[in-house]
Structure 1
Amino acid sequence: MPRQMILNLNPMPGGFSNGGWRTGERDPLHYSSIAHFAEIAQIAERGKFDGYFLADFASWNSEGVNRPPRFLDPVVVLSYLAAVTSHIGLIATASTSYNTPYNTARRLMSLDHVSNGRFGWNVVVTAGDDAARNFSLDAALPKEERYARAQEFVDVVLDLWASWEPDAIRADAENGVYTDAAKIHPINHKGEHFRVAGPLVISRSPQDHPVLVQAGGSPMGTKLAARYANAVFTVQNNIEISRRYREELRAAVAAEKRAPDTVKLLPGVVTIIGRTQEEAEARAAYLNDRIPIDVRLNSLAHWLLLPREALGTDLDQELPWHLIPADAVDGHDHRATMLKTARDQRLTLRQLTSQSSATHLALTGCAEQVADTLELWFRSGAADGFNIMPAELPKGITDFVDLVVPILQKRGIYKTEYRDTTLRDRYLDS
């Protein structure tokens, strides 16, 4: 079967644009409701999307001042979505920094059962002192220690998931034997960060265990992904750089004695789609006009851990690189990648504060143009698929499903029906 493109939806309440929730087309309170998440999940499923990915945060940030915040626990949201969808994969972020392996293993395996093998775990390592102070710490652990903890954390979770043999459940009503105790094993893990006896209290799922994904492009993040992940979410807006990174990732996967084809690279793509280029550009301008410049600069300053005045008022200047603290980058793989792109491309404040991400791949155009770019990246080996991040919701995902998906299907690079029932099979078969 020809290689098929993977598509995930990565939604923000109201859309990626800070102006998406201000169009007047919906009650602003709707964008933080479970009804909003369910609506866009069902639209994405109509478009045969492979996954629905939700990020998470361990501390309050200023995002919630000027737009609907992402305050709902992604595990809770996706549990609800498991009941109102039938096919789309459900991928939740859970940090290895401020959780424990046993509870994480049980919660995520439970969701994999509830969703009938559609669940995925986005493994993240949380930096930032704000988050640490919410978990009885004064500061975040050093980066090396965070990643060492993450590796041990994932190892323990995987051991717990494997503590039940595949045929441990007998369900023999006639003889009164539901589980075969001889096929359920303790793990007796004793490591630097965790001591876990096991076994887990829940059996393997229809896909054996949840799919693991990882987001980040730092050397430590790449090593973590190469060892464990089936998909990597990344920030790329240059096709050659993305192609090189995919080659590096595949080499790292091979070095871990894993088959390179078992790990898929999925860059984020911000989309604004019109029936013509002019219509799309007009919509982009409309969304951008909904965002006051002070809001844009305040958000950027907060993101960089800078006071607002550090950015000045000249939108055509570059970032004040000498003022950006190390803490703004250390441990933040996506932020580090975005800032490297901004420096390499000499992006201005105007570009960085536009609603179409200057660091993610941003596509504003008609459906044919968007499909052309996605196909080029896919066929040239720069990506195995994409995390679609519509600038506004639900309009943006509706436009993508109704206008772009049929083109990709006609070109033979995207499925017309769901074939596989589990998220793992769907990723591996693409």
Structure 2
Amino acid sequence: MNSTTTAADDGTRRSMVLGAQVMNYGSADAAWRWPGTNPRTYFDPDTWAETAAQAERGKMQFLFIADHPAVREDLTHHKPSATIDPIVVAGHVISHTSRIGIVLTQSTTFNFPYTVARQLKALDLLSGGRIGWNAVTTQEPAIAANFGSPVADRTTRYARAHEFVQLVQALWGSWGPDALKLDTDAGVFADATEIRPIDLAGRHVASRGPLPIPPSPQGQPILFQAGGGAEALTIAGSYASGVYSMATDIQTGRAHRLDLDEAAVQAGRAPEDIRLFMGAFTTVADSMEEALARREELMRLSPTPVHARLRHLSALVGARIPADRLHAQLSASERSSLRPAPFQLHAEKAVRLLTEGHTPYEVLLRGVTDFHTTFLGSPEEIADEMQELFEADACDGFVIAPDVVGDGLPAFTDKVVPVLQRRGLFHADYEASTLRGHFGAPRQYGRDVNPAPEPEIAVGASDQ
């Protein structure tokens, strides 16, 4: 068992780290229509600021801002699933918060290392050291078309990602940590001998540098990784301080943790330096009955028809469930024939709920066709599920995505968080002022880490 999943040596209990994916309407596709929701949230900076401030009042350690630089929804009835732009949103949010971190997504496929290094380090400096970078390789044709490029094969995308991250980190360190002087009497702004080009080039990307930006209080942004597969594990093990997992239960969470630990060791890093997060959709109410009623109303407002969800459920359990059986329990023979589809999220949970006697409609209300695990019910019931996963070493924390941000985020921070705090599972207040401090991640500046196993990049005279 790695040290991120055990009690500390001094006997204190470890506590979970919580992020919030809330810089949009909510995880429910009907969230933008929910009573009380500001329909202009997508482009309303005041709402962004209040949402971030609410997460900070709940002592959450970071906001997670996903990205999808293409239109993928039919916007006739569906809300955009991503923010208007991660850099723009983060730039506004940092001026309305003081402690919470902001992890924002930037692609290593359709960007230049210098641009990403410059923008994120500038945000990190201006925020007092609260920025993280979710480094992703992008494979969707619609996004590639927006940048006028074809989709590269997986091997190429990840080879470029290794070079890209190393170049960004080298650029972050190209301004020496003690170079800034601001000596007005002597007329010395900085020690120019400590601000040096990096002169790095690989097969896919290159940069001369240096960046004209001094370090933040945390040195430089921390890295996040999201995605699956062996190549993604190598990226995470080599560079990440946080991993946004696709795990949905104890079994898949533990498996991801073991794979991540091995990848960290292979990269010469300590496994305990990487936090694993499970995504979680939440519906908080005073009781399970009220939570189910809320989800039923959200389903009624949803542009996704119930019969489409029923087809998805049928695929998960390996049986065709006809529409006229939506509100009826399956027969004993039907239940005995159910089989969870392999490699499908929530398939085993769907089989279990149907076998227990829930109707297909009741199973759908419980979120089995959603991407992440869904926590619903009273604050105590939600805290119970989080505690079980956390104490079973399935994750080090959660990225919370309320069904509707406007009232769902306050319900989580004002009702669920106090339960977690009373149980000693979540901190009572911020212990640090930087995102690196929130994670307990080692200080890093430039490339002062063990080299990544692949690919090698050409090194200039001033490589850090």
Provide the rounded CA distance (Å) in 1 between the counterparts of 2:185 and 2:123: 29
Q: Could you tell me which residue of structure 1 aligns to residue 128 of structure 2?
A: 116
Mark the runs of 5 or more structure 1 residues left unpaired by the alignment.
301-312, 322-337
Structure 1 range deviating more: 188-197 or 340-349: 340-349
Superposed displacement of residue 66, structure 1: 2.5
3-state secondary structure, aligned to 2:75: helix
3-state secondary structure, aligned to 1:257: coil
List aligned pairs for 1:243-392, cutoff 5 A: 243-294=254-305, 297=308, 317-318=314-315, 340-342=343-345, 345=348, 356=367, 358-392=370-404
Q: Could you tell me which residue of structure 1 aligns to residue 115 of structure 2?
A: 103
Superposed displacement of residue 279, structure 1: 1.4
> Which one has the largest radius of gyration?
2
3-state secondary structure, aligned to 1:64: coil
Structure 1 range deviating more: 94-103 or 343-352: 343-352
Q: Could you tell me which residue of structure 1 aligns to residue 460 of structure 2?
A: none
List aligned pairs for 1:17-416, cutoff 5 A: 17-62=28-73, 64-69=75-80, 70-137=82-149, 139-294=150-305, 297=308, 317-318=314-315, 340-342=343-345, 345=348, 356=367, 358-416=370-428
Superposed displacement of residue 373, structure 1: 1.3
3-state secondary structure, aligned to 1:317: helix
Q: Could you tell me which residue of structure 2 aligns to residue 303 of structure 1?
A: none
Per-residue CA deviations over 1:249-283 (Å, capped at 9, x if unaligned) read 12211221111111000010010011112111211
Superposed displacement of residue 339, structure 1: 8.6
Superposed displacement of residue 291, structure 1: 1.3
Say whether the 8 Å CA contact 1:318–1:346 is kept in structure 2: no
Say whether the 8 Å CA contact 2:249–2:389 is kept in structure 1: no
Per-residue CA deviations over 1:165-209 (Å, capped at 9, x if unaligned) read 211112222222121112122111121112211111212211110
Provide the rounded CA distance (Å) in 1 between the counterparts of 2:431 and 2:393: 24
Give the residue type in structure 2 aligned to 1:84.
Answer: H
Provide the rounded CA distance (Å) in 2 between the counterparts of 1:79 and 1:316: 40
Task: Give me the TM-score of the superposition, normalised by structure 2.
Answer: 0.80
Per-residue CA deviations over 1:290-335 (Å, capped at 9, x if unaligned) read 11444884xx8xxxxxxxxxxxx856531799xxxxxxxxxxxxxx
Q: 1:316 to 1:173 in 2, by over 3 A?
A: closer
Provide the rounded CA distance (Å) in 1 between the counterparts of 2:155 and 2:388: 37
Task: Give me the TM-score of the superposition, normalised by structure 1.
Answer: 0.86
Provide the rounded CA distance (Å) in 2 between the counterparts of 1:74 and 1:54: 6
Provide the rounded CA distance (Å) in 1 between the counterparts of 2:62 and 2:279: 13
Mark the runs of 5 or more structure 2 residues left unpaired by the alignment.
1-11, 319-340, 352-359, 443-464
Provide the rounded CA distance (Å) in 2 between the counterparts of 1:161 and 1:12: 27
Say whether the 8 Å CA contact 1:368–1:407 is kept in structure 2: yes
Provide the rounded CA distance (Å) in 1 between the counterparts of 2:39 and 2:409: 18
Superposed displacement of residue 213, structure 1: 0.4
3-state secondary structure, aligned to 1:192: coil
Say whether the 8 Å CA contact 1:160–1:187 is kept in structure 2: yes
Size of the aligned set, in residue pairs, is: 399
Superposed displacement of residue 285, structure 1: 1.4
Give the residue type in structure 1 aligned to 2:292.
Answer: E
Provide the rounded CA distance (Å) in 2 between the counterparts of 1:95 and 1:193: 14
Provide the rounded CA distance (Å) in 1 between the counterparts of 2:68 and 2:397: 25
3-state secondary structure, aligned to 2:272: helix
Superposed displacement of residue 403, structure 1: 0.6
**More helix per residue:** 1
Cα RMSD for the two superposed structures: 2.6
Provide the rounded CA distance (Å) in 2 between the counterparts of 1:350 and 1:233: 30
3-state secondary structure, aligned to 1:377: helix
Say whether the 8 Å CA contact 1:273–1:399 is kept in structure 2: yes
3-state secondary structure, aligned to 2:218: coil
3-state secondary structure, aligned to 1:270: strand
Give the residue type in structure 1 aligned to 2:249.
Answer: N
Superposed displacement of residue 35, structure 1: 2.3
Q: 1:149 to 1:5 in 2, by over 3 A?
A: same
Superposed displacement of residue 230, structure 1: 0.3
Superposed displacement of residue 13, structure 1: 2.4
State, as a whole percentage, how many aligned pairs show the same letter: 35
Provide the rounded CA distance (Å) in 2 between the counterparts of 1:63 and 1:401: 32
Q: 1:116 to 1:27 in 2, by over 3 A?
A: closer
Give the residue type in structure 2 aligned to 1:214.
Answer: Q
Structure 1 range deviating more: 419-428 or 31-40: 31-40
Provide the rounded CA distance (Å) in 1 between the counterparts of 2:291 and 2:364: 19
Say whether the 8 Å CA contact 1:315–1:350 is kept in structure 2: no
Say whether the 8 Å CA contact 1:284–1:364 is kept in structure 2: no
Give the residue type in structure 1 aligned to 2:136.
Answer: V
Structure 1 range deviating more: 207-216 or 126-135: 126-135
Superposed displacement of residue 353, structure 1: 7.3
Provide the rounded CA distance (Å) in 2 between the counterparts of 1:352 and 1:157: 45
3-state secondary structure, aligned to 2:281: strand
Say whether the 8 Å CA contact 1:9–1:44 is kept in structure 2: yes
Say whether the 8 Å CA contact 1:101–1:153 is kept in structure 2: yes
Provide the rounded CA distance (Å) in 1 between the counterparts of 2:346 and 2:291: 28
Say whether the 8 Å CA contact 2:366–2:376 is kept in structure 1: no
Provide the rounded CA distance (Å) in 2 between the counterparts of 1:134 and 1:95: 13
Instruction: Check if 1:427 corresponds to 2:439.
Output: yes
Say whether the 8 Å CA contact 1:287–1:355 is kept in structure 2: no
